[in-house]
A = this chain, B = another copy of it.
């Protein structure tokens, strides 16, 4: 609400972001989170004149407690040693109960807070329709403009939609830990489809090898030779063990994707998800609110009184939406 009240100097902010000014980058991502009316102008400016090649985008996801933040922090160190400029987006749905808590682990990334080559941002999207699908690509555009070579998207939620957001990355890393009893279950439930690289973190604990073996077996069952075969690594992110192998696997996956067009296909998917989310948000605005006398109000009354079923009410709204003006 406050952010909407402040005026936005779009050219100034976009110029600042292009110069790598962290405050301009932060402000632009705040506009993305708030779905600010000036975003349309911001995105037009960013799309029209790209700053350079797009950043490589790596998604990290996994159940709570698996060490996502620690792994992200270790990856930042590894990529900084290669002199890459890095953006980090920690994405979580806003929760009125645990707002701070879901993102509370950010402390592990404080090591990098003073490094001007690292831009870290937690993003909480309110229950907006398609909020994550819209805001993640838009935040990536901002980080691209700021000259990031690489963006890590860490999804903190446990829901399907957070996993899907990680899946909007070029490469998705799925983290599991031994003894959580859900390695195989997770795989069954669809995580196999989204993971390009699997990491059994906390590999100094009992059962790491068994979890890795289970995962490899499941991958074998569905693997087709023309596809990328997701490696299953073991790591102890807190000590850095296995992080070099992870960086290497990410590099291999990028080479594979570039060689066969998969990278373009994935970026196309991300653009499509962004367009779809923006379209649905526009439809939602046109449906309007439940003010007395509004069309939605009339239809809701008819449904409530049993004069109309909800599907026919939706048909009526669709017909009334008509083309854009």
- Residue positions of A touching B, CB distance < 8 A: 39-40, 43-44, 46-48, 50, 62-64, 93-102, 126-127, 129-130, 137-138, 157-161, 163-164, 182, 185-186, 189-191, 264, 267-269, 271-272, 274-276, 278-280, 282-284, 287, 290, 296-297, 299-301, 303-304, 306, 308-315, 317-324
Contact = CB atoms under 8 A, between A and B. Distances in A.
B95 A306 contact: no
A67 to B, nearest CB: 14
B93 A44 contact: no
A138 B310 CA distance: 9
A268 B94 contact: no
B63 A280 contact: no
Q: Chain copies in the assembly? A: 2
B160 A159 contact: no
A160 B93 CA distance: 7
Which label, helix, strand, loop or mixed, suits the secondary structure of the A interface? helix
Contacts of A312: 44
Contact of A317 (B46, B138, B186, B275): B275
A159 B127 contact: yes
A268 B304 contact: yes
Nearest to A268: B300
A282 to B, nearest CB: 6
B279 A318 contact: yes
Nearest to A181: B101
A197 to B, nearest CB: 16
A305 B94 CA distance: 32
Contacts of A269: 290, 300
Contacts of A99: 185, 189
A271 B158 contact: no
Nearest to A182: B97
Nearest to A66: B97
A47 B300 CA distance: 13
B191 A278 contact: no
Interface centre among A159, A297, A304 (most CB of B within 10 A): A159
A303 B280 contact: no
Contact of A267 (B43, B190, B304): B304
Q: Which 5 A-B pairs have CB atoms at the shortest separation, nearest pair first? A: A127-B160, A63-B97, A278-B314, A96-B189, A271-B300
Nearest to A320: B323
A280 B287 CA distance: 9
A47 B275 contact: no
A284 B280 CA distance: 7
Contacts of A158: 95, 97-98, 102
A324 B313 contact: no
A287 B282 contact: no
Contacts of A94: 159-160
